[in-house]
Amino acid sequence: MTARTEPPKAAPAPPGFSGLGLDPRIVTALLALGYEEPTPVQREAIPPLLAGRDVLGQAATGTGKTAAFALPLLHILTPGADAKDRLGALILVPTRELAMQVAEAVHKYGKAMGIAAVPIYGGSPMETQLRALKRGVDVVVATPGRALDHIRRKSLRLAGIKVVILDEADEMLDMGFAEDLEAILNETPTDRQTALFSATLPPRIAEIANKHLKNPVRVRIDREVVPAGSAPRVRQVAYVVGRAHKMATLGRVLDVENPTSAIVFCRTRTEVDELCESLNGRGYRAEALHGGLSQEQRDRVMKRFRANTADLLIATDVAARGLDVEHVSHVVNYDVPTSAEAYVHRIGRTGRAGREGVAITLAEPREHRLLRNIEFLTKQKIQIAAVPTVADLRARRIELTKASLRETILAGDLDHFRPVVDSLAQEFDIMDVAAAAVKMVDAEDGAEVEEIPSVTIRPDRPERPGIGGKPGFGPRHDRGPAPRAGAAGMKEGKPPGKGFSRKRITPEWDVARLYIGAGRAAGVRPGDLVGAIVNEAGVDARAIGAIQITDRFSLVEVPADIADGIIETLRATTIKGRRVPVRRDHKQDWKS
């Protein structure tokens, strides 16, 4: 009788990014950047992309999509090739901000491999982009309108493209780039590899996928279902700021809030180390906690934090798992969490044992969707607040000085100082003596500070209704979804009749009509106007109403309460390469 042999068991996949089959140089770069483990969308999308398959991905902003498509790109490209034939990948994104972020990420991930990436978008000098493309690049990250401009100039040649990525495709359709996308894709080789990522998959996205993707692998990352009311009852507030001002905003908010003990959550260990160093330089006692520390180091950090010898704990999610500290007064999300579940877990570390807690989130303008999703899934309101001003900070310092003086008076033991006060009172009014003492204490509390550039839209306007009952935010600080005005179906380039009209849908708030002194004769298309308002003024594309274009000028409907801010912004930028007059239009009837 022959003994039965068991088949050998497959070796378990290595942990983290190394288990996905990525080039060791990329894994090393990721570790150096502080990335500890892949997100769900990265685990699902990277293997099929490495295998050369097309991918159709449905995942929200902030889930790690950029790395999910950028990392496999680096395997396919051949840096150092002849400049004329070097371009191997094209990534299309809806906004200039996202173009810069994606290009920066590709550069960081592929730095060890010599990968060169360049962002091209409207509003940036064409000459600079032409020089960069002429020198030769491996990856172009572009907004559709500017990509099409370069294709028509013959400065962007796509004959050698191996991979095309469409990121946030639904946003591009909402902004009126449907025809531009078709035109660009038709210029690329038919044997290219294609990946399309979108937060939603409406019929128009499915149509593009069926036409341009070959038997794609479908990747869908569903948001976690969070029980209603599961978020702790703490004060929840978010500040919407640009990336360049996040550090200054964090310092200002901490100065005003004056937490007794706080945890600041970051996405990467590199960010943790940088924040820790910066906050220590501001006089805080901050400690870093991330996966790069040994267990002994972690234990020492937690011992100091629990003993209140450290004010701030700067940590990654991975390192903070299982963290249980009761005295935390504030939790700060330096980046918006990638899911409602992660948000609930983070802010659940404050407001314990009946204590009051505060949850603060710093969000970039384009992350408003994540905040809205968190609100919808947790059924709790996140207040959108303005960044504290210098006046706010000074008022807060005076309050703290007053509280300290009150405690000192109640503590007594002042006899040693009474002779000094008595002596000064013989020469000056007693109120002036006390005021001078308060002034000295306040002056020692901190150096003069500068105002942080804030978004132009007021944060305290009434909430606008969202889609399907979801909470809404207004443009910039509290921007919210307007009714979908059929932007994806706009016909660009060949407007019918005397004036092209974007489909009109009655908005849910008052609208103002803007006159823009450029029309068809200047080559203006609906996508140019939508792109300028979205990119420059930071307004949600769905808040833009009817668009009418004549030969000489254009009319655009926008929410009335932010019209002046949009006008000011558009006057300072260019449309189709030149500055044009922008003002409110008060005429009811007009002709081209």
Cβ atoms of 197 and 69 within 8 Å: the answer is yes
* Count of CB atoms situated within 10 Å of the CB of 440: 11
Q: Is 444 exposed, middle or buried (0-12, 13-18, 19+ CB in 10 A)?
A: exposed
Residue 538 and residue 521 in contact, taking contact as beta carbons nearer than 8 Å: no
Q: How many residues does the chain have?
A: 592
Q: pLDDT tens per residue, the chain (592 residues)? A: 444 444 444 334 345 788 888 888 888 888 887 777 888 889 999 999 999 999 999 886 667 788 899 999 987 786 655 555 688 899 999 877 788 888 988 988 888 888 889 999 887 788 888 988 888 899 999 999 899 999 999 999 898 899 999 998 888 887 788 888 999 999 999 999 999 998 778 888 888 999 999 999 999 886 554 455 544 568 899 998 888 888 888 988 888 888 888 999 988 888 898 899 888 887 888 999 887 888 788 878 888 888 888 889 998 876 665 565 767 889 999 988 877 777 887 887 787 655 678 999 998 887 777 888 888 777 788 888 888 877 776 776 777 777 777 777 777 777 787 888 888 888 888 888 777 777 776 665 554 455 565 543 333 333 333 323 333 333 333 333 333 333 333 333 333 333 333 444 344 457 888 989 888 888 888 888 888 888 777 777 777 888 888 888 899 988 887 888 888 888 877 788 788 889 888 654 444 3
Is residue 300 within 8 A of residue 326, CB to CB? The reply is no
- The SS3 call for residue 122 is coil
Q: How far apart are the first and last CA of the chain?
A: 95
> Coil, helix or strand for 337?
coil
Are 260 and 412 in contact, with CB atoms under 8 Å apart?
Answer: no
Classify burial at 539, counting beta carbons within 10 Å of its beta carbon; exposed 0-12, middle 13-18, buried 19 or more: buried
CB atoms inside a 10 Å sphere around CB 83: 13
**DSSP string of 565-576?**
HHHHHHHTS-BT
- What is the SS3 assignment for 514? strand
Q: Report the pLDDT value the prediction gives residue 1, as an integer from 0 to 100.
A: 43
Can you tell me the distance from the alpha carbon of 192 to that of 73, in angstroms, rounded to the nearest whole number?
12
Contact 306, 334 (CB under 8 A): no
Edge-to-edge, what's the strand order for the sheet holding 163-166?
Answer: 117-120, 139-142, 89-92, 163-166, 193-198, 55-58, 217-220
Model pLDDT, residue 318? 64
Q: Are 176 and 524 in contact (CB under 8 A)?
A: no
**Which residue is listed with tokens 């000098």?**
125
Cβ pair 194, 49 in contact under 8 A: no
Q: Which structural domains are found in the chain, ordered by start?
A: 23-220 (3.40.50.300), 235-385 (3.40.50.300), 390-444 (no CATH), 476-584 (3.30.70.330)
Q: What Rg do the C-alpha atoms of the chain give, in angstroms?
A: 28
User: Are 285 and 312 contacting, i.e. CB atoms less than 8 angstroms apart?
Assistant: yes
Evaluated on CA atoms 108, 110, 115, 121, the torsion sign reads negative
Q: Element (H or E) spanning 146, and its range?
A: helix 144-153
User: Phi first, then psi: what are they for 118, rounded to 5°?
Assistant: -135, 135
Do residues 516 and 571 touch, judged by C-beta distance below 8 A? no
| Structure tokens given for 355 | 């204590």
Concatenating the DSSP letter of every residue in 230-262 gives: -S-SSEEEEEE--GGGHHHHHHHHHHHH--SSE
By the 8 A CB rule, do 525 and 493 touch?
Answer: yes
Distances (CA, A) of 96 to 62, 142, 155, 366: 17, 8, 19, 11
367 closest CA partner among 60, 66, 40, 56: 60
Cα 132 to Cα 140: distance, rounded to the nearest angstrom: 10
Helix ranges (DSSP H) in 445-478: none
Contacts of residue 215, Cβ cutoff 8 Å, sequence gap at least 6: 53, 54
Side-chain-side CA neighbours of residue 464 (13 Å) = 26
273: left (phi over 0), alpha (psi -120 to 50) or beta: alpha
Determine the pLDDT at residue 5: 43
